[in-house]
Amino acid sequence: MTEPVSIFYLILNASVVVQVVMGILIGGSLISWIMIFQKGFALAAIRGHAQQFENEFWSGKDLGQIYRELDAEEIDQIGLEHIFASGFKEFTRSNAQNAIDSDRVMQNVQRAMRVALAREEERLETHLSFLATVGSTSPYIGLFGTVWGIMNSFRGLATVNQASLAVVAPGISEALIATAIGLFAAIPAVISYNRYSAQVEIILNRFEAFTEEFSSILSRASQKG
């Protein structure tokens, strides 16, 4: 009885095109796994910062003091801190110009917060497009390698006098490995993309709700002033 051929043997003895396909898929899979972990940690950090900032914001602490503390920090502001700082900075600057009425002040404030919100949305969606690309294209790339390998296997039949399963099986096996690697790369990327997209939407809804509430607070403060 012959020993079964190992997967590594089939990969090493595959045609150059199939090996290139496998290399692309393995590289894409490794990069996607790195981005999956990075994105998970980044979203967890943003949620934690948002919860911490909301607790401080709604504690009744003076908004000017919160802004000064954020402005004194040397780290970059992200999430709700960025939106708050952008809105409060524009509110303070516009109020310093006595010629601007309250409606114009709020228009400037809302514009500044919309810009900050757009930048946060861009930050949240970083790497998602790559995961979507890996998830959608990897099976097709693997299928291309499989089709190419099967074509080579059947072309090899023309050089033998008697066709048998033992002659064709190794070539078909190495070709099917490309599809397996493609699925291995695609499935985690698709799952992570769907999960992180849902989390990003929830976080953005939270940011938008805060923007509306903070805008209302500044609007009342502008009218009193």
Closest CA to 28 of 189, 195, 196, 197: 189
In a domain, 34, yes or no: no
Residue with token string 């601007």? 100
In a domain, 49, yes or no: no
Predicted pLDDT of residue 15: 76
Of the listed ranges 39-43, 59-63, 132-136, 167-171, the one predicted with least confidence: 167-171
In a domain, 99, yes or no: yes
In a domain, 109, yes or no: yes
In a domain, 219, yes or no: yes
CA dist., res. 192 & res. 30, Å (int): 14
Residue 106 has pLDDT above 80, yes or no: yes
CA dist., res. 36 & res. 191, Å (int): 10
Predicted pLDDT of residue 5: 56
Cβ atoms of 80 and 50 within 8 Å: the answer is: yes
Residue 1 has pLDDT above 50, yes or no: no
CA dist., res. 91 & res. 97, Å (int): 10
Q: Is 103 exposed, middle or buried (0-12, 13-18, 19+ CB in 10 A)?
A: exposed
CA dist., res. 39 & res. 17, Å (int): 33
pLDDT, tens only, 142-153? 999 888 888 877
Instruction: Please report how many Cα atoms fall inside a 13 Å half-sphere around the Cα of residue 102, on the Cβ side.
Output: 11
Max CA pair span of the chain: 96
Confidence of residue 206 (pLDDT cuts 50, 70, 90): very high
pLDDT, tens only, 18-46? 888 889 999 999 999 999 999 999 999 99
In a domain, 163, yes or no: no
pLDDT, tens only, 173-189? 777 888 889 999 999 99
CA dist., res. 90 & res. 222, Å (int): 12
In a domain, 36, yes or no: no
Residue 171 has pLDDT above 80, yes or no: no
Confidence of residue 59 (pLDDT cuts 50, 70, 90): confident
Residue 162 has pLDDT above 80, yes or no: no
CA dist., res. 49 & res. 51, Å (int): 6
Residue with token string 């002040």? 105
Q: Is 122 exposed, middle or buried (0-12, 13-18, 19+ CB in 10 A)?
A: exposed
- How many other CB atoms sit within 10 Å of the CB of residue 173? 17
Secondary element (H or E) of residue 197: helix 165-224
Confidence of residue 101 (pLDDT cuts 50, 70, 90): confident
Predicted pLDDT of residue 62: 86
Pick the residue with more confidence: 4 or 94?
94
The domain in which residue 217 lies consists of 7-25+59-146+175-224
Q: How many domains does the chain have?
A: 1
DSSP-derived 3-state class of residue 82: helix
Cβ atoms of 63 and 218 within 8 Å: the answer is: no
Q: In whole numbers, what is the pLDDT of the chain averaged over residues?
A: 85
In a domain, 156, yes or no: no
